[in-house]
Amino acid sequence: MNRRDSIKTITFASIGAGLLLEGCYGISSEKIKRSLTRYEYGRTPDEIAYDDKLFAQKFFTNKELSDLDKICNVILPPNEFGSIRDAEVVQLIEFMAKDIPSYQDPLRKGLDWINEESNSKFSKSFIELDDNSVKQIFDEIGFYDPNSNMSDLPEPVQWFNLVRNLTMTGYFTSEVGIKELGYKGNMPNVWDGVPQDVLDQYGLKYDEDWLEKCIDQSTRMTIAEWDDEATY
Amino acid sequence: MQIKNTAKEYDVIIVGSGAGGGMATKVLSEAGHSVAVVEAGPYFDPADPTTMTQLKWAWQSPRRGAGTTRFFGDYDQAYGGWEIDGEPYTQGDDTDFRWFRSRMLGGRTNHWGRISLRFGPDDFKKKSIDGLGDDWPISYDDIKPYYDKVDKLIGVFGSKENMYNEPDGFFLPAPKPRLHELFYINAARKSNVKVMPSRLSVLTKRLNTDRGVCYYCNGCARSCNVYADFSSGSCLIFPAQKSTGQVDLFVNSMVRTVTTNEEGKATGVSFIDKDENKEYKLKGKVVILAASACSSARILLNSKSKQHPNGLGNSSDLVGKYLHDSTGGDMMAFIPELINRKTYNEDGVGGMHVYSPWWLDNKKLDFPRGYHIEVWGGLGAPSYGTGFNVNSFNKFFGINKAGGYGDVLRSDMKKYYGSTIGLSGRGESVAMKSNYCEIDPNKVDKYGVPVLRFHYQWTDNEIKQAKHMQDTFEEIIHNMGAISLWNKPGKESNYGLTKPGQIIHEVGTTRMGSDPKDSVVNEFERLHDVSNVYVVDAGPFVSQADKNPTWTIMALAMRSSEHIVKEFKKQNF
């Protein structure tokens, strides 16, 4: 087994097994992953040093990470495309709490709040709640009037919105989420206009005189030439 | 700080490796001159896989591309930004000037929008037209042959439109408009706003055998690994190094001053090697500053000597004055017709495929200068922030409930993906002597070099123009059947006018003119006061035009460099 395979094993082994969160979210495995291919993204030496500093810190406790894992899974339950675990949403939240420190207080306070709420309503900690109890709490805080200012809403509603935002962005910027969304770019190709069926759907067409100004893609590899006619 | 001197005397020392410095490097080295390029940042080659960000996915970044370390996101190819550790700048009373610096070989050409517009005949004669600012000492006809050469050398797509003040050039064919751009074309035309193919220095067709052809990944801000977009390194400096063997690069080397002799002529530069924290001197027969308008002004002002007590080239006291940036105004809108749209690869080039040049006559308006409109939107690559407030657009359908959890979020995400459009006005401000940068007498950077202090206020001219932008956006958005996503900015916020500096088109700090009392450089960008020092960045701009400055920086740099070659032949250095 090569090193990359062993990392995959750690990640997959942790799915569905709350006790293995250290393996999934712990500092050491994140550092290993970073040192492999995961986070090679064209950094300068200063940027690498900054990332390393963040990776060496741990913000959430393992209990908090388990709570987040449960919350994010209910916000976005797994489907045939993937799960928040495939998308490493909780790892992203841990990282962003260090990268954007102003997230730290609200995120932590919200986790405290949901445990207090679980206790007062059901005499259990949040992690012990069954699905129906979780939904009861989420239904209290999960919705808002989009015409309102978020900052005017109760803190638990704001907190839930923050966690929902991070869950959504974490999932839909992941490999599985981007596939589910249907984004098809970021790869070499040739743009030759809006597909005809899409133009038809919106009752649009390209003007002939505009198209005359556009590249005939069958000539794109031909070296450009101009005549010397004055163009102005 | 240890000072080392190198023995070699270069024909030319070029300070900065962006658009102007790159062009000077190419022209002068190809003419057979030895050239030292001194760049404050590290070496950078867009094709180097270790620094490359092009074609990376959001998930390859631990912050999914968020803009916490690089302002425009992890994958933007600019090292530096609005603030650089240890290299501050300060503000005069009531000033909030933003200064974007990119410290790397090629400078800001590695990430810029590639909008490559010629200034038109009117743009050199604004005082004659509206009585404000000053005319340039040159006309469009003087610079036209150089625009022509830049077009053919670098490559720019566009279309012949026969508009007097939007001169045509030697264009490559344009890419076809995207879906949201078709919506824009139809909506703008309803308001009689001219729309045409944009003009970007991206190769839609092969230009030569050294550079690749655009493969439509939308990644121009990440700098192209096949050199299909313009960056100074890939298109000017590397070819010059390869073909001439006359170019020495000094990277991580920040120039502190231009050195001068008893006669007051330049002898070279002193610079700080940032890796060693040592100061070195380089000797050159000619010094060309191309460090960016404000950085070049800073170097000149810091180059005080017995012969030049007010700073080099500053007998007019105008170095740093007439600093001006483009105006900016933006609006984003939701197009209900585009919900649940079919997805396909809509990346295109890294920028808009269509735009609107200035289409009105200022004589009939209450502000003196124009603006162009840039268009953005569509099925973009997800990155950090995608999916935030996923269903807040529910309110546009009379649904006063958003948020929630569960599978509805997945369908809401797909419903609203790609349904927005953005409009950005980028306009001309009037150059003002009262807007300037100067040396802050009380502050130095971590190398001990005195830093810049800015003084800048917009006037009614720019504020009224910003109001006009917002009124235009509102009308076009209405024509599109779209809904503005931001409250229309009012008087209290200068109608959404951006902060000075924010559009990153700062120009004018060493302005060009024929009268040495009223300008810093002559028409060949040579200091009036010193016969062997030139400035080939945007400092010499007398006025900004409602166009992006890069193409004009390069045309002028080419013209001035050819002048320097002639002066060498006449043995004037």
Chain A, window 82-141: residues with a beta carbon less than 8 angstroms from a chain B beta carbon: 87-88, 91-92, 95-96, 99-100, 138
Contact call for A51 and B383, based on CB within 8 A? no
Does residue A211 form part of some domain?
no
State residue B50's pLDDT score. Answer: 94
- Percentage of residues in chain B with pLDDT exceeding 90? 99
Residue A10 has pLDDT above 60, yes or no: no
In a domain, A193, yes or no: no
φ, ψ of residue B279 in degrees (nearest 5) = -100, 135
What's domain B1-59+77-116+231-326+431-458+506-573's architecture? 3-Layer(bba) Sandwich (3.50)
End-to-end CA gap in chain B = 31
CB atoms within 10 A of CB A16: 9
Q: Which domain holds residue A43?
A: 3-181
H or E stretch covering B459: none
Contacts of B167 in chain A (CB under 8 A): 231-232
Q: Decide if the complex's ipTM is over 0.90.
A: yes
pLDDT, one tens digit per residue, over B268-290 is 999 999 999 999 999 999 999 99
**Taking residues B511-540, what's their average pLDDT?**
98
Facing residue for B56 by CB, picked from A41, A220, A222: A41
- The confidence score (pLDDT) of residue B7 equals 82
Rounded to a whole number of angstroms, the distance from the CA of A199 to the nearest CA of chain B is 8
pLDDT score of B359? 98
User: CB of B284 within 8 A of CB of B268?
Assistant: yes
Q: Are A39 and B61 an interchain contact pair (Cβ–Cβ within 8 Å)? A: yes
B347/A191 Cβ within 8 A:
yes
Q: Which amino acid type is present at position A131?
A: D
CA-based nearest distance B493→chain A, Å: 20
B280: tokens are 């070195």
| Residue of B51, B79, B204 lying closest to A215 (CB–CB) | B204
Query: Taking a contact as any Cβ pair under 8 Å apart, which residues of chain A between 37 and 56 contact chain B?
Result: 38-42, 44, 47, 50-51, 54-55
Q: Where are the domains of chain B?
A: 1-59+77-116+231-326+431-458+506-573
Q: How far apart are CA B486 and CA A232, in angstroms?
A: 40
> Of the candidates B213, B345, B413, which has its C-beta nearest A181's C-beta?
B413
Please give the Cα distance from A182 to A196 (Å, whole number).
18
- Asked if residue A209 belongs to a domain, the reply is no
Chain B contact probe: residue of A25, A80, A172 with most B CBs at under 10 A: A172
Full DSSP string of B228-284: -B--HIIIIIHHHHHHHS-EEEE-SEEEEEEEE-TTS-EEEEEEEETTTTEEEEEEE
Task: Give the contacts of B254 (CB within 8 A, at least 6 positions apart).
Answer: B40, B271, B272, B274, B447, B449
CB contact under 8 Å between B206 and A216, yes or no, is no
Strand partners, B375: B423
Alpha-carbon distance of A214 to A108, in angstroms, equals 54
Please give the pLDDT value at position A39: 85
Band of residue B552 on the pLDDT scale cut at 50, 70, 90? very high
Give the 3-state secondary structure percentages of chain A, helix then strand then coil, rounded to 5: 60, 0, 35
Percent share of chain B, pLDDT over 70 = 99
Chain A residues near residue B71 by CB distance under 8 angstroms: none
Integer Cα distance of A9 and B183 in angstroms: 48
Q: Is the pLDDT of residue A210 over 90?
A: yes
**How distant is the Cα of B15 from the closest Cα of chain A, in angstroms?**
23
Residue A208, judged by CB atoms within 10 A of its CB (0-12, 13-18, 19+), counts as: exposed
Which of B56, B197, B404 lies closest to A143 in CB terms?
B404
Cα–Cα distance measured from residue B437 to residue B535, given in angstroms and rounded to the nearest whole number: 16
Measure A46 CA to nearest chain B CA, in Å.
10
- Average pLDDT score over residue span B137-154: 98
Residue A112 to residues A19, A67, A107, A156, A169, Cα–Cα distance (Å): 20, 10, 9, 10, 23
The overall average pLDDT reported for chain A is 87
User: Mutate which of B44, B59, B110, B485 to test chain A, going by most A C-beta atoms within 10 A?
Assistant: B59
Count CB pairs under 8 A between chains A and B. 265
The arithmetic mean of pLDDT across residues A14-30, rounded, is 42
Cβ-Cβ contacts under 8 Å, A79 against chain B: 407, 410
Reported confidence tier of residue B396, pLDDT bands at 50, 70, 90: very high
Main-chain phi, psi angles of B450, to 5 degrees: -55, 140
Compute the half-sphere exposure of residue B182: CA atoms within 13 Å on the CB side of its CA: 22
Number of domains in chain A: 1
The alpha carbon of residue B566 is apart from the nearest alpha carbon of chain A, in Å, by 26
- Subunit contact B177:A206, Cβ cutoff 8 A: yes
**Contact assessment for residue B18 and residue B108, using Cβ atoms and an 8 Å cutoff:** yes
List pLDDT tens digits, range A27-81: 455 555 554 557 889 999 999 999 999 999 999 999 999 999 999 999 999 999 9
The per-residue pLDDT for range B191-242, each reduced to its tens digit, is 999 999 999 999 999 999 999 999 999 999 999 999 999 999 999 999 999 9
**Chain A residues touching B405 at Cβ < 8 A:** 74-76, 138, 142, 164
User: What is the pLDDT at residue B5?
Assistant: 63
The burial class, CB within 10 Å (0-12 / 13-18 / 19+), for A3 is: exposed
Mutate to test the interface with B, among A31, A99, A210, A211 (most CBs of B within 10 A): A210
Residue A185: closest C-alpha in chain B: B345
Burial of A28 (0-12, 13-18, 19+ CB in 10 A): exposed
* pLDDT tens sequence across B89-106: 999 989 999 999 999 999
Report pLDDT for A227: 80
Q: Is residue A218 part of a domain?
A: no
Q: How many residues does chain A have?
A: 232
